[in-house]
Chain A
Amino acid sequence: MTLDNLTSQNGEWLSGSGPQQDIVISSRVRLARNVASYPFMSKANRLQRTELHRLVRENLLQAPSTGAGRTVFYVDMEKTDEIDRQLLVERHLISKQHAAGEGARGVAISNDEALAVMVNEEDHLRMQILRSGLQLREAWQEADKLDDLLQQHLDFAFSQRFGFLTACPTNVGTGLRVSVMLHLPALKLTGDIEKVFRAAKDMHLAVRGLYGEGTEAIGDFYQVSNQTTLGRSEEEILAEFNDVIIPRIIQAELAARQILENERPLALDDRIGRAIGVLKYARLLSSEETLYFLSHLRLGVVMKRVTGLDLPTINSLFLQTQPAHLQRLLGKQLEGDARKSARAEFVRNKVGKNNL
């Protein structure tokens, strides 16, 4: 398995096959862990960093560590060029910080991309399980299992009072960050999205854009995640998310779609039609603009107002029109208008045949 294969395939999380896939793109569970007896990253010297990198990588590549018959390959960040690091960011397999970082660091990725473990990011290990649709419990079970397996070989920094110790106290305790990626175009169109944000804030949740911290909510994608990691068990955090918060947001989006369909069908079709118009006929497309119109097209597909396109195709378009993916797929580096033109052509070929 190499990065070349990655570019042309869809990770399981983008397959559009999980529960509630019309609205929930993916569920992610992340665990932060540090190896006891080593300093955290900010205080690790080069030697310790290199040693840690080797130690964790060896353990991750051992067959039993990876769980359920998954094959894992490892990407050494120091030996990876910028465009491929960007590719991994676009696929949500590493963070922006990890791509931009320095020194010995890497990521272990399973072939289906459901599992990704960053080594030497802010913490020694950041284990991620990514699943399509709303599958938080399944994701947690896998992360929990991976954590157990790794603990057979690695002693993680832990205190009775504070739980699993992390470089930043905002992650201490469970080290668990649960995030769900939602596509909420109807709430955006009806203007009710602000209400959802306010409610989320009251519940101490973070709402971010497509690529996490500091990114705008482009393409009507919103990542909702917990902020509290201490004082509540994994089960409590998960239950609240899986059984209360996310179902409520889903309901709100469904209600908004209903309103659009029943009360404003012309305005709805106008949005979708404009999106198709631009995607079909534009000759220069920026990645943000593409996300914006693809979002409306996706709404049209899931509301069955557009024929000739399926969800997996749309989902993969979101990814393949990102800068690193596009350049990787076309096999050349492109800047400015050349890139926008190539993107427009790429989109035209995929969207060209559908009908409103």
Chain B
Amino acid sequence: MHLCERCNKPATVHLTEISGGKPHEVHLCDACAQEAGYIQQSHVPINELLNQFLKSHAQMPDVQTQRCPDCGLTWQEFKDTGLLGCGRDYDLFEKQLQGVIERAQHGGTHHTGKTSASSAPGAAPAAEDPVKLRQAEIKRLKKELDIAVKEESYETAARIRDQIKSMEGPS
């Protein structure tokens, strides 16, 4: 049995190095082989690996830095408070919310109850009601804004954004 060249413990790593064209045998124990840089520590704890994996995922820009253009909410903020900032967050963070909602709702994933008056088929906005009319207009503009951002027409987007801002301000 070979002994470790450095510390005389039983050697577990046996290498043949070729230097200057001549083969040369090296016998080392685990610890010394690691120290010498021949082998890498192989037992990285599994949870450390997982953490690294999750971290690298969490740092993906679309999850960590995504901010709602309407209310400014980030996913981290939701995780801290449990509260969403506006209706649009349900669309924006739909993927992440899915699991949360399914757990909170004991498996419920889709609404099956009463629908809103404005979402009913054939519902016309109450033309005589200025408040409702303004809300409908803001809703329409926000859809346009989404399209403009997707198409990267930033000038148009900025114009629509200002328009929405002025409409949402005090009347």
B116 touches A151 (CB 8 A): yes
Q: How far is the CA of A41 from the CA of B81 in the complex (A)?
A: 12
The answer to whether the Cβ of A156 comes within 8 Å of any Cβ in the partner chain is yes
Instruction: Name the segment of B10-18, B48-56, B83-91 touching the other chain.
Output: B83-91
Minimum CB–CB distance from B9 to chain A (whole Å) comes to 59
Q: Contacts of A156 on B, CB cut-off 8 Å?
A: 116, 118
The answer to whether the Cβ of B158 comes within 8 Å of any Cβ in the partner chain is no
Q: A40-B84, A153-B131, A158-B118 are in contact. Are A231 and B71 (CB under 8 A)?
A: no
Which residues of A from 38 to 83 have beta carbons under 8 Å from B?
38-43, 47-48, 51, 55
B105 touches A37 (CB 8 A): no
Instruction: Name the segment of B28-36, B132-140, B148-156 touching the other chain.
Output: B132-140
The answer to whether the Cβ of A230 comes within 8 Å of any Cβ in the partner chain is yes
Q: How far is the CA of A155 from the CA of B170 in the complex (A)?
A: 18
Q: How far is the CA of A160 from the CA of B70 in the complex (A)?
A: 20
The answer to whether the Cβ of B5 comes within 8 Å of any Cβ in the partner chain is no
Residue of B whose beta carbon sits closest to that of A122: B83
A204 touches B106 (CB 8 A): yes
Q: Contacts of A154 on B, CB cut-off 8 Å?
A: 131-132, 135
Interface centre among A161, A176, A227, A230 (most CB of B within 10 A): A230
A42 touches B85 (CB 8 A): yes
The answer to whether the Cβ of B169 comes within 8 Å of any Cβ in the partner chain is yes
Which residues of A from 115 to 174 have beta carbons under 8 Å from B?
122, 144, 147-148, 151-165, 167-170, 172-174
Q: Contacts of A41 on B, CB cut-off 8 Å?
A: 83
Q: Contacts of A159 on B, CB cut-off 8 Å?
A: 87, 90-91, 111
Q: How many cross-chain pairs have Cβ atoms below 8 Å apart between A and B?
A: 148
Interface bracket on B: 35 or more
The answer to whether the Cβ of A112 comes within 8 Å of any Cβ in the partner chain is no
A233 touches B71 (CB 8 A): no
Contact among A47, A155, A170 with B132 in the assembled complex (CB-CB below 8 Å): A155
Interface centre among A36, A122, A234 (most CB of B within 10 A): A36
Residue of A whose beta carbon sits closest to that of B112: A233
B170 touches A47 (CB 8 A): yes
Residue of A whose beta carbon sits closest to that of B119: A158
Contact among B86, B97, B136 with A43 in the assembled complex (CB-CB below 8 Å): B86
Minimum CB–CB distance from A228 to chain B (whole Å) comes to 5
B170 touches A51 (CB 8 A): yes
Q: Tell me what chain A mostly uses at the interface: helix, strand, loop, or mixed.
A: loop
The answer to whether the Cβ of B61 comes within 8 Å of any Cβ in the partner chain is no
A43 touches B131 (CB 8 A): no
Minimum CB–CB distance from A322 to chain B (whole Å) comes to 30
The answer to whether the Cβ of A232 comes within 8 Å of any Cβ in the partner chain is yes
Interface bracket on A: 35 or more
Residue of A whose beta carbon sits closest to that of B125: A155
Q: Contacts of A204 on B, CB cut-off 8 Å?
A: 106
Minimum CB–CB distance from A14 to chain B (whole Å) comes to 29
B82 touches A230 (CB 8 A): no
Q: How far is the CA of A43 from the CA of B84 in the complex (A)?
A: 8
Q: A158-B118, A159-B90, A160-B119 are in contact. Are A43 and B71 (CB under 8 A)?
A: yes
Interface membership of chain A positions 309-331, coded 1 if the CB is closer than 8 angstroms to chain B and 0 otherwise: 00000000000000000000000
B105 touches A228 (CB 8 A): yes
Interface centre among B82, B86, B91 (most CB of A within 10 A): B86
Residue of B whose beta carbon sits closest to that of A147: B114
Residue of A whose beta carbon sits closest to that of B138: A37
Q: How far is the CA of A43 from the CA of B135 in the complex (A)?
A: 18
B82 touches A168 (CB 8 A): yes
B135 touches A152 (CB 8 A): no
Q: How far is the CA of A210 from the CA of B86 in the complex (A)?
A: 32
A169 touches B100 (CB 8 A): yes
Interface membership of chain B positions 56-92, coded 1 if the CB is closer than 8 angstroms to chain A and 0 otherwise: 0000000000000011110000000111111100110
Chain A residues within 8 Å of B, Cβ to Cβ = 34-43, 47-48, 51, 55, 122, 144, 147-148, 151-165, 167-170, 172-174, 176, 204, 227-235
Provide 22 A-B residue pairs closer than 8 Å at the C-beta atoms, listed in order of the A residue: A39-B70, A40-B83, A40-B85, A40-B87, A42-B85, A43-B86, A47-B169, A147-B114, A148-B117, A151-B116, A153-B126, A155-B136, A159-B87, A159-B91, A160-B119, A169-B84, A169-B101, A173-B113, A228-B105, A230-B108, A230-B110, A233-B114
4 nearest A-B pairs in the assembled complex, by CB-CB distance: A231-B108, A163-B111, A43-B85, A158-B116
Given contacts A153-B131, A172-B105, 12 further A-B contacts (CB under 8 A): A38-B86, A39-B86, A51-B170, A153-B126, A155-B116, A156-B118, A157-B86, A162-B90, A165-B84, A165-B87, A165-B90, A174-B111
